[in-house]
Chain A
Amino acid sequence: MAEVRLNGVRKVYAGGVEAVKGVSFTVPDKTFCVLVGPSGCGKSTLLRLVAGLETITSGDVLIGDDRVNDKDPSDRDIAMVFQNYALYPHMSVYENMAYGLKNRGTSKADIDKRVKEAAKILAIEGFLNRKPRQLSGGQRQRVAMGRAIVRQPKAFLFDEPLSNLDAKLRVQMRVEIRKLQRNLGVTSIYVTHDQLEAMTLGDMLVVMNGGVIEQIGSPLEVYADPASTFVATFIGSPPMNVFPVSVDGAGILSLADGTRVGATSDHKGDLLLGLRPENLTIDDLPGATFVATGRVALMEPLGAETLAYITLGTSGPEIIVRLQGHATQPPGTPVTVRAAASAIHRFDAKTGRKV
């Protein structure tokens, strides 16, 4: 058990690609940290730097109080779960789980005890003698987890471990991983590009984009208070509506076509306004700050809720409003969209950062 600390970690690949551009954060002991970001943003690279599968160009990685930059993966006391499981195809489930312990010179009796224990936790006791190819995807996933937990490492590293599973199994395994991590209390770093996994799994969310960190915080903090338009649109589904508004001398905000939206700002220069679909309504909202007229473009009933696509003002932007229950206004119906003051996010139009 240990904290994992990154200090100004950079990675430049041989070809000159700078995949990680100076990243610092600390994952406290026993914490489940989720690294999330779009494809190619350097999540896997960062994880592999912690694992020791890639060399660090500059900066430090500390596990516990050890600076592990120059240590081999096997000496870092970490365990990794890969997306394609990477089970040894010619070894039985038992051997797969025992292999790392065997190489460390753990006694046979101890190995046996630990493997059986892990198998029990993961409910794979019945498969110990099978080969990986005789298992379903979900079972393989468990074996891969088992291989990690028998080692009793200081940290678990997961690289999109669920993305090869079907949707239902993914949800189920997600819950199990979370429970398991809680019970074992092992510091974990989990890479995913699925924002739902990120929201549900993490104690701590690290949102990455283009090799740098956009925001660090608990999932709800990041959701409620995104630091940039990137985070705002990446976390949450459907994503936050973000659209440009201009600020006049009196601080009044209006859309490109001149439609006023009620809200004000003392910001100099243009703004991007962010509004979560679930914070918007087309009904009356006493004390609403954001008030804008528009027309229904499309209604998408999802059963429990309806997504309304609404064109604001006369010519857009088009935003999504999440309505409870059924709503069946035909396209073209004039509506007024409202939101409370607390639901309005303002970002600088140039930098995309929160103002």
Chain B
Amino acid sequence: MAASTGDTYRPKGYWVPHVVIAVGILITAFPLWVAFVASTLTLGQISQAPMQLWPGDQFWVVWKDVLEVGGGGGGRIITAPVSTMMWNSFVMAMVIAVGKIVISLMSAYAIVFFRVPFRTFFFWMIFVTLMLPVEVRIIPTLQVVSDLGMLNSFAGLTVPLIASATATFMFRQFFMTIPDELVEAAKIDGAGPVRFFFDIVLPLSRTTIAALFVILFIYGWNQYLWPLLVTTNQNLDTVVIGLAKQIDTAGGVTEWNKVMATALLALLPPMLVVILMQRWFVKGLVETEK
């Protein structure tokens, strides 16, 4: 054997996993690259087959247009500017995520730590709604929202989506791992229900909250069916709705470069949330701080 060179030990065929990973990345990233390239080309360039795979010179033109003016089919502007839509989506996703977390934190707290009459019944009621897909109750919900005059408003967009069986269930599971003695120690230390919630339960739930926030933010951001039903006002379009609107199915011309720019923009916030919260997210899913 030659003298050790200080190299790390490399088993035979160590490059195989690397190649697999590289191929995986290419496969995943390729559509994104195509989308990006398309957003920098003119419509004419896009319609040539095969489409070129290196960026054109239209980046600023297309992206600025999309962000400030909006898009549509055949040159008609039928959506709000993407910047407005992004804001709408952001507000909607935030309100839904934060609202869901607040509501389910409180309901799980009530279910786990208080002897409410019928609490098992309530829990199962909540649990059963887990099994109902949103679509099943979407028409009755729409009726209610419409009766309450909440169509075409942020309230109508967000409130019906805030109740969350999944998040309640997750918090319940987490709360049940908090040892009884901790609750009792807090009682002896003079912490009433409100203090106990803010001083003990909330700080202990931080990682769970972070993990749920990521999931719920993306859930809210990606909503399509509900905003489609509740809003007709262009200024309330979310970016997902706007994206769909831009793809003209009525025989007009679809401005694919704008569509691609919009799609990439729509991708950014959820991605940022995941990247920024990644550490917390993983922590929340795998460990509990106890």
A interface, CB within 8 angstroms of B: 51-53, 72-74, 78-80, 82-84, 86-90, 99-100, 103-104, 147
Contacts and interface: CB of A to CB of B under 8 A. Distances in A.
Contacts of A83: 181
A143 to B, nearest CB: 12
Contacts of A86: 179, 181-182, 184-185
A84 B182 CA distance: 9
> DSSP majority for the B interface?
helix
B289 interface: yes
B200 A88 contact: yes
Contacts of A147: 185, 189
Given A53-B184, A82-B184, A90-B289, A100 B179 contact: no
B187 A72 contact: yes
Interface in B185-208: 185-191, 195, 199-200, 203-204
B137 interface: no
Contact of A104 (B185, B187, B190): B190
A103 B184 contact: no
Interface of B: 179, 181-182, 184-191, 195, 199-200, 203-204, 289-290
A281 to B, nearest CB: 48
Contacts of B189: 74, 99-100, 103, 147
A80 B185 contact: yes
B196 to A, nearest CB: 10
24 contacts: A51-B188, A52-B187, A53-B184, A53-B188, A72-B187, A74-B188, A74-B189, A79-B188, A82-B185, A83-B181, A84-B181, A86-B181, A86-B184, A88-B182, A90-B200, A90-B289, A99-B189, A99-B199, A100-B188, A100-B189, A103-B190, A103-B191, A103-B195, A147-B185
Contacts of B181: 82-84, 86
A78 B188 contact: yes
A174 B191 CA distance: 30
A100 B190 CA distance: 6
Contacts of A84: 179, 181
A104 B190 CA distance: 7
B61 to A, nearest CB: 52
Nearest to A84: B181
Given A82-B181, A84-B179, A84-B181, A90 B188 contact: no
Between A74, A78, A87, A104, the greatest number of chain B beta carbons within 10 A of the residue's beta carbon is seen for A74
A52 B191 CA distance: 14
A53 B182 CA distance: 12
B203 A90 contact: yes
Given A51-B188, A86-B181, 16 more contacts: A52-B187, A53-B184, A53-B187, A74-B188, A74-B190, A80-B184, A80-B188, A82-B185, A86-B184, A86-B185, A87-B185, A88-B182, A88-B200, A89-B289, A89-B290, A103-B190
A99 B188 CA distance: 11
Contacts of A74: 187-191
A83 B180 CA distance: 12
A84 B181 CA distance: 8
A104 B200 CA distance: 16
Contacts of B191: 74, 99, 103
A147 B191 CA distance: 14
A261 to B, nearest CB: 50
A104 B179 CA distance: 24
Contacts of B184: 51, 53, 73, 80, 82, 86
A96 to B, nearest CB: 9
Contacts of B203: 90
Given A84-B179, A84-B181, A90-B289, A73 B195 contact: no
Nearest to B204: A90
Contacts of A90: 200, 203-204, 289
A73 B187 contact: yes
Nearest to B188: A73
Nearest to A78: B188
Contacts of B185: 80, 82, 86-88, 147
Nearest to A100: B189
Contacts of A89: 204, 289-290
Contacts of A100: 188-190
Nearest to A81: B185
Contacts of A53: 184, 187-188
Contacts of A99: 189, 191, 199
A73 B181 CA distance: 13
A149 to B, nearest CB: 14
Nearest to A105: B190
A58 to B, nearest CB: 21
A51 B187 CA distance: 10
Nearest to A90: B203
Contacts of B179: 84, 86
A174 to B, nearest CB: 21
Nearest to B202: A90
B23 to A, nearest CB: 42
- In the A-B complex, list the 6 residue pairs whose CB atoms are closest, starting with the nearest: A100-B189, A74-B190, A86-B181, A103-B190, A86-B185, A90-B203
A84 B220 CA distance: 41
